[in-house]
Chain A
Amino acid sequence: MSPPVELTGVGASEGIVVGPAHAHLEGEVEPERTRIPEGSFDEELARFRAAVEAVAGRLRKTGENLSGSLGEDEAAIFEVHAEMADDPELLEGVEGRLRGLESPESAVLAVGEEYARELAALEDEYLAARADDVRDVARQIAVELTGGGGTGLEILEALTVPSVILARNLAPSDTARIPKGMALGFVTAGGSRTSHVSIMARSMGIPAVVGVGDALEAVLDAESVALDGGEGRVVADPDPKTRAAFDLLRARGEEERAGLDEYRLVEARTRDGRRIEVAANLGSASGAEEALSWGAEGVGLFRTEFLFMEREELPTEEEQYEAYSAAARAFGTRPVILRTLDVGGDKSLPGVQQPREENPFLGWRGIRMSLDVPALFVPQLRAILRAAAHGNLKVMFPMVVDSGEFRAAKGMLEACREELEADGVPAGPVEVGVMIETPAAALGAAELAREAAFFSIGTNDLVQYTLAADRGNEKLRHLQGADHPAVLELIRMTCEAAGEAGIPVGVCGEAAGEPDMIPRLVALGVTELSMGPPSIPGAKKIVSGL
């Protein structure tokens, strides 16, 4: 065992864990062996068949696991991958190359690439995505053949031992592949507190340290890892002394959390009697029960993107109606604020032709895209209106810069309502609010407040746009806090405008759950805080002490 190596990064999700390490490396697989000796055809073909069987079996199992936890559409992706793995034409192509004494790992990559190119050449965006699928599957078979375990190239979906995942970056599709319960924590070279992997870790309630930089390379072959997601500390191959120290810290953390338990079910009020609602940020209705158990008084941000990702076509109105109704029903009379689709930037949307952009975060995203693509926006609005009949739903629009956009979006919502009424389809009342996440919206808050039923400040984007600092850039870590005076001033202006108009103002960015930001936000006039569910008891405790 190598001596312990310590790394520091950004503590992105609290918690302490010591466990086996799993390095997830993306990129090219380059087989060392491209030729096989004469006379080894039968043996190599058998090896290839066995590898195919292993990969296809694993993919099928992942699909089955997913159909329980994430949904049928994600499961379908793995179903297709499994068919690709044991495709007879793939086998035939590889067999031919084996006869020519090419190694099976090299052959499967070559044949996979041939098919991928064929699909890509059809110039259809769906099929182009299938081309990547074929490459991915061929790569998995090659990794299986070369015994990828030792090289750390194992595929996440094959995890059978709960592990700490080490990766340069983890995309939504990577984290979606991890079987339930198999991720103990995340350590990534890139990323910040607000990148996807951090948000995911907090909602899963597992520790994460992100932005450790190139230092990660040195620990990719570690067998075990200890991490403290609060402090941003990672120790690779911890010695017994280090393990003991982490265990002690974990025990203390658990004790502290137990002390917070009594706050779960209280209604948070400051000592001078101001009521502050503490709500959850959720990505799907399946997290509702857990959020309620942490003490969520509602949902301050229900992200709808997850319905649109990792799939081959847009979700139908019916499907969205089901998902939103489930959320509405789960929270009963408690408010659930749905944010309409917010893609662009770091999230791509299969099913809509998105132009390549130099600056996606300053590009065609959020309400800009929704207003331009009725086929995207109308079914979502109709689904929200219909689902509102089953609970206390509200809706808000992302990336708004002025009241013109807000009125246009609201107008479309009203048109949908009229259409539903004309067709005799039941719809419920829906309060319409606006996200304040661009400096323009904060500066124009007074005008927006006259038209909106509530504000919700998205601090993650507000910080990024105000300080002109990419939130994924680890070199700009010092420019990623909502405590910058310029950001605080915009929040103050927003609260002032809301106060004058008599509308509530929430915060649904990461700042809402940060212990040192909560007192400031409350002092500025924020009336609702929405955060990852595990942070709720702590936030209620802080509010109660103000």
Chain B
Amino acid sequence: MSPVNTRPKSGGFVPRDRDWQPDALTPWYKTSVKRSPQAALLSFPTTLSEETSPVFGHGLLGKLDNDLILNYAKPGESAIGPRIIVHGRVLDEMGRGVPGALLEFWQANAGGRYRHKKESYQAALDPNFGGCGRTITAEDGSYEFRTIQPGPYPWPNGMNDWRPAHIHFSVFGHGFAQRLITQMYFEGDPHIPLCPIVGVLKSQEAIDALTAPLDLHHTVPMDSRAFKFDIVLRGQRQTYFENRKEGM
């Protein structure tokens, strides 16, 4: 059949670039030493199991799910810390916006303390800050949420290791092959080049890809600053011409 005037078929996902993504074993990040597989990963083309993914409808979201300043606060109160908006787009490697992508994010409070049963840092909990939120990207792949800027904090690795201020992101695309967890850092943070976890990234370009610039065009004047953070997921090939033997 002629490809003219037919819709392109979705193909497999572009292979993950393992020379760009961090390695499993990064001894300066000590926990990786006994948690890193040592055998070679098994490569094969994506199948339906990886090209499909669960669907999360916008109906899932509560009104304050994307507002960490208010979503854990008592009525009339709000979380303590520098008020910021984080916005950006979820794109694929071909630059197409990814609509309907579920983003879940979590972070420490302004003092660098997480609300978690196993957290032991002495910085105070903020009774009005839970530390998590979620949203789903719009048709053009854009998203936005409001929060407070998290603080840096010490962590047990070397004797004096500190995490730069960061927000964790969990991202679903349209195929389970795109599943990704990463972290967003803030432009100008002096802890970025010192952090062993940032140090698993293989190049300055990779660090820059996770560092959000201040974005004065998206601030709310006299209210909240804004940072822009785009996320890129693996691309899915699209073609009119399927990889099938002639006549099939």
A and B from one complex: no
